Amino acid sequence: MTGRGESAVVLLSGGMDSLVTTAWAARNHDLALLHVSYGQRTADREKQAFLDIAAHYGVEQTLVLSIDHLRVIGGTSLIDRSIPLRTEGVQKDVIPTSYVPFRNAHLLSMAVSWAEVLGAGSVWIGAVEEDSSGYPDCSEAFFNAFGRAVGHGTAAGNIEIRIPLIHMSKSSIVTRGIELDAPFDLSWSCYQATESACGVCDSCRLRLNAFKDNNLDDPISYAINRI
Amino acid sequence: MTGRGESAVVLLSGGMDSLVTTAWAARNHDLALLHVSYGQRTADREKQAFLDIAAHYGVEQTLVLSIDHLRVIGGTSLIDRSIPLRTEGVQKDVIPTSYVPFRNAHLLSMAVSWAEVLGAGSVWIGAVEEDSSGYPDCSEAFFNAFGRAVGHGTAAGNIEIRIPLIHMSKSSIVTRGIELDAPFDLSWSCYQATESACGVCDSCRLRLNAFKDNNLDDPISYAINRI
């Protein structure tokens, strides 16, 4: 654990998990918030959530990177609109069409490069292994191996990869966020809508279930709420 | 070792090392050549070298990615022209100002994502540990750790990171390139010039010395050749 005053780079998409990760890092660190827009369907809405959350925490050190190369490399329904987005619910042991190949390696590389420029001691990412949609780059084994690559591949050599949510359920993430006073109303999780959340994509279903498990209403609005 | 017919993604900057790596991979694989332009001083010249080498090998599967985010993250003389480029020669144990923080993690992430989309079995990069300019992301330990992250973080799970030059000297890379009939005249190594190579940047000095050790003339032209 690093002490207050040392800054932490947090990857903040604007969704529920990265919001709670931000709230967690804010307890002991000066924040540097990084948002990456990579051509996903809801890029503008996510960026707005990022800006709202950064303002909520009074963070001055923010960086928004717009990248095009994941779209160019292709192969995902989150970006490629010719691949249908799955709305029939999360299945176990099936890698969904929304998977961006090796996406988290790109995001972490950006965060680590920025951390090295800033002299930050850690990079935080709100990845969840068990309760996620089965993306291989959300596994603890991946982050541990990547962390060792950071140790060997940077001049600083001591930038820590922090994955505080990795073994939490979506329900316990909501519980933790409430404890940390995370502003859930400012976050955005839906993969396809930008006004009211759709309520039927994997991300909406997981989020709605998590609030239900906590006997709470999600403060954002939904077009459909079958949970 | 993977067999002929299985394709290999090769990171080809257009320099001497990536050229020899391409020639090496071409012995046993169908090639998919990836070039990344990230705002370096000599980006156009390097891209031309890439295209010439791809044409030489008759490769149809090529991808050129132009990225801006390394320049935005900043911190390097290869991109930031306010930081002077070093021309006084390579020093041991000093990380040069041309270091792009964690650059190879970005390049490998792009290559791995593309390899996963293509179904390629390996990613090749012409990194050199001993004889390089002291970049931490050129170490074998970094590539090994990154390779484990690829194993855990991809759906395919079996994309191999190949670093055939990692323990070779620049001189032995030239020797190997000659054996493999690599078209050195099409490659470009200089960090700052785009017509005749400067002859004084770290990259030029290492290349010139390597040809001298082989009692060969480098087929490209130099503005200054003090070797």
B153/A contact by beta carbon, under 8 A: yes
CA distance A205 to A189: 10
A222, two tokens? 């939904």
Average pLDDT over residues A68-91: 62
Q: How confident is the model at residue A224 (pLDDT cuts 50, 70, 90)?
A: confident
What is the CB-side half-sphere exposure of residue B219 using CA atoms within 13 A?
10
Q: Determine the pLDDT at residue B142.
A: 96
Cβ A90 vs Cβ A205: under 8 Å: yes
Q: Is B216 near chain A, with CB under 8 Å?
A: no
Residues A142-161 have a mean pLDDT of 94
Chain A residues 48-107 with CB within 8 Å of chain B = 63, 65-70, 72-75, 95, 99-106
In this prediction, residue A132 carries a pLDDT of 56
Residues A45, B112: Cα–Cα separation, whole Å? 29
Q: Which residues of B182-211 are buried (b: 16+ CB within 10 A; e: fewer)?
A: bbbebbbbbbbbeeebbbbbbbbbbbbbbb
Please calculate the CA angle A8-A9-A11 and round it to the nearest 5 degrees: 135
Q: Are B71 and B78 in contact (CB under 8 A)?
A: no
* A152-168 tens-digit pLDDT: 999 887 899 999 999 99
Q: Rounded CA gap, A12 and A17, in Å?
A: 9
Calculate what percentage of chain A has a pLDDT beyond 90. 66
Rounded Cα distance between A37 and A31, Å, is 19
Taking only the tens place, the pLDDT of each residue in A29-47 is: 999 999 999 877 788 899 9
pLDDT, residue B173, reads 97
- Percentage of residues in chain A with pLDDT exceeding 70? 85
To the nearest whole Å, the CA of A111 is away from the closest chain B CA by: 9
Start-to-end CA distance of chain A, whole Å, equals 38
Place A68 in a pLDDT band, splitting at 50, 70 and 90: confident
Query: Which has the minimum average pLDDT: A72-76, A136-140, B38-42?
Result: A72-76
Q: Shortest Cα distance from A7 to chain B (angstroms)?
A: 16
Decide: residue A52, CB within 10 A, 0-12 exposed, 13-18 middle, 19+ buried. Answer: middle
pLDDT (tens digit per residue) in A86-131: 565 555 545 445 557 899 999 999 999 999 989 999 999 999 997 5
Short-list A205, A140, A125, CA closest to A171: A205
Q: Cβ separation of A155 and B101 shorter than 8 Å?
A: yes
Q: What are phi and psi of B124, to 5 degrees?
A: -110, 135
Tokens linked to B172: 């032995």
Contacts of A112 in chain B (CB under 8 A): 101-102, 105
Q: Do B139 and A150 touch (CB under 8 A)?
A: no
Residues of chain B scoring pLDDT < 50? 1-4, 77-78, 93, 95-96
Q: What is the pairing mode between strands A160-162 and B122-124?
A: unpaired
Count Cβ–Cβ pairs < 8 Å, chain A vs chain B: 144
* Residue-range domains of chain B with CATH: 7-183 (3.40.50.620)
Question: Is there a contact between B134 and B95 (Cβ–Cβ < 8 Å)?
Answer: yes
Nearest CA in chain A to B63: A73
pLDDT digits 0-9 by tens, B156-188:
878 999 999 999 999 999 999 999 999 999 999
3-state secondary structure (DSSP) of residue B49? helix
Cβ atoms of B81 and B192 within 8 Å: the answer is no
Task: Evaluate whether ipTM surpasses 0.90.
Answer: no
Of A68, A102, A117, which has the smallest distance from its Cβ to B109's Cβ?
A102
How close B66 gets to chain A, by Cα (Å)? Answer: 8
How high does pLDDT run on average in chain B? 87
Q: What are the DSSP E strand ranges found in A48-167?
A: 61-66, 122-124, 160-162
Closest CA–CA distance from residue B172 to any residue of chain A (Å): 25
> Which of B65, B99, B109 to mutate: most A Cβ within 10 Å?
B109
Q: What is the pLDDT of residue B123?
A: 98
* Res A4: pLDDT: 45
Starting from the edge strand earliest in sequence, which strands make up the sheet with A61-66, in order?
A: A61-66, A30-37, A7-11, A122-124, A160-162
Amino acid at B207: R
Spatial distance between the Cα atoms of B25 and A59, rounded to a whole number of angstroms: 47
